[in-house]
Chain A
Amino acid sequence: MNGVHDMGGMHGMGPIEREANEPVFHHDWERRVLALNLAAGALGAWNIDASRHARERMPPAQYLAASYYQKWLYGLELLLLEQGLLTREEVATGRARGRVSGGRVLRAADVEKALTKGRGFRLPDDVPPRFKVADRVVARNTQPTGHTRLPRYARGRRGVIDRDHGVFIFADANAMGLGPRPQHLYGVRFAARELWGPDASPRDAVYLDLWDDHLDPA
């Protein structure tokens, strides 16, 4: 979706504000939001791409005003409601109507193992690649209304395949409940001038990871 989350290339966002000796969390509720997201995610009711898409659906004015963990809170509530794990009435009243059975509840004893294992995004390498290293490609000029990992600033721009990462879950499809749609993922090099015009440095480049379905031969 062409949302405000797709920020690459925008002006007017102000200076980068850094904090010396920044703590990991600034408020106790931030700790809770991080942990609730990880624990609820472990139930398996949605995938990481769907959770990114949930945050992107925060209304734009709200998204720009929200802190990172406020976006995470918004996305988590949205997914819990959409998956029927909570009802609007429960959220409004703060009172649970019965327990939910099933689902893989993450137990304290299993946290370390789950974090160490991570999640699997790489799939068996049995899908032929459409491109090889050094191939010239053009990023598709599309305007999907759902989730996409192809930022607007690269659409319609020409690049070169820098590396083939192998076969991965296709995030754009996975986020929308369309399955993993296995395909090759590539590191693609775009010259800064191709993206930003003649005022950009002639030497510099931006690298993006893009899937077969984002690219055409150039």
Chain B
Amino acid sequence: MSDHHHHDHDHASEPGSPLAETDLRVRALESLLVEKGLVDPAALDVLIDTYETKVGPRNGARVVARAWVDPAYKTRLLADARSAVAELGYQGRGGEEIMALENTPKVHNLVVCTLCSCYPWPVLGLPPVWYKSAPYRSRAVLDPRGVLREFGLEVPDDVEVRVWDSTSEVRYLVLPERPEGTEGMSESALAELVTRDAMIGVARVKPPVQGGRR
């Protein structure tokens, strides 16, 4: 088996620490599975490369920007997100079923998975640590406004907060509101404004900085 993936030194894993033990356990498991003919080490490298460099929130940002500039696309996205997302080439594992949730001046959507960490992989990639953490999973359903405040987002009382607990294979993507002052911006410039957090529903998309990049 190739060793080239192990060359980056992992300073957090001091010898004898729990993380160093985990590291050893994983290496032992990998060599066992390769030796038994159950996994192809070359396939592992392709899998890692896919999720580290190819699939990520830039995909979702392109979907959002397209929906902002193309009303027909937005209609398709809200009616059948799986097909609309596939139009841009994003599909498959962790997003076999997708629903898009539109934020409006009256409704704010927030996505969580209280039971595990379900997340729309083809459009957002792998979830950040906070999304998978106990503090977020426990409180997003109970106190969504408090959680949003923690993210710096104050939702007025007259706006309805909808929390989507991902309890099935249907995965949720928030379609954030297009910020003011972005009229005339190109689709690709708009995509640059869209953040992962806005597509989970814990942030708004901010208008471009004056004199900033277009």
Do B160 and A28 touch across chains, with their CB atoms under 8 A apart? Answer: no
Do B129 and A19 touch across chains, with their CB atoms under 8 A apart? Answer: yes
Do A34 and B48 touch across chains, with their CB atoms under 8 A apart? Answer: yes
Question: Residue A173 at the B interface, CB < 8 A?
Answer: no
Do B29 and A28 touch across chains, with their CB atoms under 8 A apart? Answer: no
Do A24 and B46 touch across chains, with their CB atoms under 8 A apart? Answer: no
Do A27 and B167 touch across chains, with their CB atoms under 8 A apart? Answer: no
Question: Residue A193 at the B interface, CB < 8 A?
Answer: no
| Size category of the binding interface on chain B | 35 or more
Do B116 and A39 touch across chains, with their CB atoms under 8 A apart? Answer: no
Residues of A within 8 A of B94 (CB): 118
Do B37 and A101 touch across chains, with their CB atoms under 8 A apart? Answer: yes
Do A17 and B135 touch across chains, with their CB atoms under 8 A apart? Answer: yes
Residues of A within 8 A of B47 (CB): 34-35, 38-39, 111, 115
16 examples of A-B residue contacts, CB within 8 angstroms? A18-B128, A18-B130, A22-B129, A24-B56, A28-B8, A43-B38, A67-B129, A68-B129, A73-B26, A90-B32, A99-B35, A100-B37, A100-B38, A107-B43, A201-B157, A209-B165
Using a CB–CB distance below 8 Å, which chain A residues touch chain B?
5-11, 13-19, 22, 24-29, 31-36, 38-40, 43, 48, 52, 55-56, 64, 67-68, 70, 73, 76-77, 80, 85-86, 90-91, 94-96, 98-101, 103, 105-108, 110-112, 114-122, 149-151, 153, 165, 168, 171, 185, 187, 192, 195-196, 201, 203-211
